Amino acid sequence: MFGRDPKSARIDILIGKSASIQGDIDFSGGLHLDGRVTGHVRAEESSGSTLSVSEGGCIEGSVQVPNVMLNGTVKGDIRARERVVLGACAKVQGNVYYGVIESAIGAEIAGKLVPVEPSQRAAPEASPSEPKPSAKKAL
Q: What is the pLDDT of residues 6-38, one digit of tens each?
A: 444 589 999 999 999 999 999 999 999 999 999
Confidence class of residue 126 from pLDDT cuts 50, 70 and 90?
very low
Q: Which residue has the higher pLDDT, 131 or 97?
A: 97
Start-to-end CA distance of the chain, whole Å, equals 60
How many residues are present in the chain? 139
Q: What is the mean pLDDT of residues 108-137?
A: 64
Q: How do residues 57-100 score in pLDDT, each as one tens digit?
A: 999 999 999 999 999 999 999 999 999 999 999 999 999 999 99
The residue type of 21 is I
* pTM summary value: 0.79
What's the pLDDT score for residue 120? 59
